[in-house]
Structure 1
Amino acid sequence: MKNIFVKSLCALTFSAVTLGSISAHAANEKIEVTPTPAVTTQELAAIYVLSEVCPKLVSDGDQPKFEAGYAKLAKEYMPSEKNPVNALQQLSKQKSFKEALKEAQSDAKKAGDKKNGAICQELTAYSK
Structure 2
Amino acid sequence: MRFTNTQQKVSTSTLLMAFGVILTFIMSSAAQAKDYRMSTAIGSTTKNTLVKPVDLSGISATTHEIALMQVLAEVCPGLISSHLRPKFARAYQTKLHQLMPTVSNPDNAMRYLYTQKEYRRVHTNIKNWTLSYSRAENRAMCEELATTQF
TM-score band, normalised by shorter chain: 0.5 to 0.7
Secondary structure of 2:132's match? helix
- C-alpha separation in 2, matches of 1:104 and 1:122: 18
In structure 2, what is the Cα distance between the partners aligned to 1:47 and 1:90?
15
Partner of 1:113: 135
Matched residues in 1 for 2:149 and 2:111: separation? 20
Q: Which of residues 58, 65, 74 is equivalent to 2:87?
A: 65
Look up the match of 1:44.
66
- Give per-residue Cα distances to partners, 1:94-127, cap 9 Å, x unaligned: 2221110110011011012122111111111125
Mapping of residues 53-92 of structure 1, within 5 Å: 53-92=75-114
Aligned residues: 91
Would the alpha carbon gap of residues 89 and 115 (structure 1) be closer, same or farther in structure 2, given more than 3 Å must change? farther
* Structure 1 portions without partners, runs of 5+: 1-37
SS in 1 for 2:122: helix
Q: Which structure is larger by alpha-carbon Rg, 1 or 2?
A: 2
Q: What is the aligned-residue RMSD (CA, Å)?
A: 1.6
CA shift, 1:71, in A, is 0.5
For structure 2, the 5+ residue unaligned runs are: 1-59
Give the equivalent residue in structure 2 for 1:25. none
Indicate the structure whose relative CO is greater, using CA pairs within 8 Å and at least 6 residues apart: 1
Structure 1 residues 44-64: Cα deviation after superposition (integer angstroms, max 9, x where no partner): 111110011101011112211
Superposition TM-score, scaled by structure 1 size: 0.64
Q: Structure 1 stretches (4+) deviating beyond 2 angstroms?
A: none
Corresponding residue for 2:148? 126
Structure 1 equivalent of residue 24 of structure 2:
none
Q: Which TM-score applies when normalising by structure 2?
A: 0.55
Local SS of the residue matching 1:116: helix
Identity of aligned residues (%): 33
